[in-house]
Chain A
Amino acid sequence: MKGFTLWFTGLSGSGKSTLAQAIEPVLLERGVMVEILDGDEVRTNLSKGLGFSKEDRDTNVRRIGFVANLLSRNEVVAITAAISPYKSVRDEIRARTANFVEVYTECSIEKLTERDPKGLYKKALAGEIANFTGVSDPYEAPENAEIVVNTEQESLEESLDKIVRSLELMGLIPPGEDNHTSPEEEVVIRERLQALGYL
Chain B
Amino acid sequence: MGLLERLAADGVMPNIAARIEAGHLRSMRASLPEISSVSWTSFMTGANPGTHGIFGFTDLNPGTYALEFPDFSRVEVPTLWDRLGRRGLQSIVLNQPSTYPARTIPGVLVSGFVAIDLSRSVKPLKWLGTLRRQDYRIDVDTARARGDHDWLFQDLEYTLQSRAAALGRLWQEEDWDYLQVVITGTDRLYHYLWDAVVDPTHPRHEQAIDYHRQVDRFVGQVWSRFADESDDPESHFWMLSDHGFCAIEQEVQLNALLRETGHLRLGSGATELADIERETQAFALDPSRLYVHSQGRFARGSVSAEKRAAVKRELADALHALRYHGRPVIRDVLDAADLYEGPCAEHGPDLVALAHPGFDLKASPTASEVFSRTDLVGMHTWDDAFLLAPYPIEGEELWIGDIAAHLEREFEH
- A interface residues (Cβ-Cβ under 8 A, vs B): 21-22, 24-26, 29, 156-157, 160, 177-181, 185-186, 188-199
- Would A192 and B125 be within 8 Å (CB), given that A179-B73, A185-B117, A198-B57 are in contact? no
B104 is an interface residue with CB less than 8 A from chain A = yes
B residues 134-189 near A (Cβ < 8 Å) are 139, 142-143, 145-146, 188
Given known A181-B71, A192-B142, contact A25–B191 (CB-CB < 8 A): no
Which of B126, B142, B143, B360 lies in contact with A156, CB distance below 8 A? B126
Which 8 pairs between the two chains have the least Cβ-Cβ distance?
Answer: A195-B142, A22-B126, A25-B128, A195-B143, A179-B73, A181-B71, A198-B286, A197-B376
Other A-B pairs, 12, CB within 8 Å; known A185-B116, A198-B57: A22-B125, A22-B126, A179-B72, A179-B101, A189-B69, A195-B145, A196-B191, A196-B376, A197-B374, A198-B58, A198-B286, A199-B58
Q: Is B214 an interface residue (CB 8 A)?
A: no
Contact A160–B125 (Cβ < 8 Å): yes
- Among B120, B126, B143, the most chain A Cβ lie within 10 Å of the Cβ of B126
CB distance A22 to B114 under 8 Å? no
Count residues on chain B whose CB falls below 8 Å from chain A CBs. Answer: 38
With known contacts A186-B69, A189-B114, A160–B57 Cβ distance under 8 A: no
Determine if B125 and A188 form an interchain contact, defined as CB atoms under 8 angstroms apart.
no
Chain B residues with CB below 8 A from A181, complex form = 69, 71, 100-101, 116
Contact B286 A179 (CB under 8 A): no
With an 8 A cutoff between CB atoms, is B103 at the interface?
yes
Q: A22-B126, A197-B191, A198-B57 are in contact. Are A192 and B143 (CB under 8 A)?
A: yes
- Some 30 contacts from A to B, beta carbons below 8 A apart, are A21-B129, A25-B119, A25-B128, A156-B124, A157-B123, A157-B124, A160-B125, A160-B126, A179-B72, A179-B73, A179-B101, A179-B103, A180-B71, A180-B73, A181-B69, A189-B57, A189-B69, A189-B114, A192-B113, A192-B114, A195-B143, A195-B145, A196-B142, A196-B188, A197-B360, A197-B362, A198-B57, A198-B287, A198-B362, A199-B67
Q: Which residues of A contact B286 (CB under 8 A)?
A: 193, 198-199
A21 to B113, CA, bound (A): 28
Closest to B119 in A: A29
- A-side contacts of B360, CB under 8 Å: 197
Docked-complex contact B101 and A180, CB < 8 angstroms: yes
Does chain A have a CB within 8 A of B51?
Answer: no
State how many angstroms separate the Cβ of B167 from the closest Cβ of chain A.
20
How many angstroms from the CA of A196 to the CA of B184 in the assembled complex?
Answer: 12
Q: How far is the CB of B169 from chain A (nearest CB, A)?
A: 15
Name B15-72 residues within 8 Å CB distance of A. Answer: 57-58, 67, 69, 71-72
**A199 and B103 in contact (CB under 8 A), knowing A26-B125, A156-B126?**
no
Contacts of B104 in A (CB 8 A): 157
In the bound complex, residues from chain A placing their C-beta under 8 Å from that of B374 are 197
- In contact, B57 and A193 (Cβ under 8 angstroms): yes
A22 neighbours in B (Cβ, 8 Å)? 124-126
Distance between B187 CB and nearest chain A CB, rounded to angstroms: 8
Nearest residue (CB) in A for B131 is A25
CA distance A189 to B36 in the complex (A): 14
Indicate which residue in A24, A29, A178, A191 contacts B143 across the interface (CB closer than 8 Å): A191
A107 to chain B: closest CB distance in Å? 18
Q: Mark B278-294, 1 if CB is under 8 A from A, else 0.
A: 00000000110000000
Q: Kindly name the residue among B57, B100, B103, B125 whose own CB sees the greatest number of chain A CB atoms within 10 A.
A: B125
**Residues of the A chain whose Cβ atoms lie less than 8 Å from the Cβ of B126:** 21-22, 25, 156, 160
Contact A25 B129 (CB under 8 A): yes
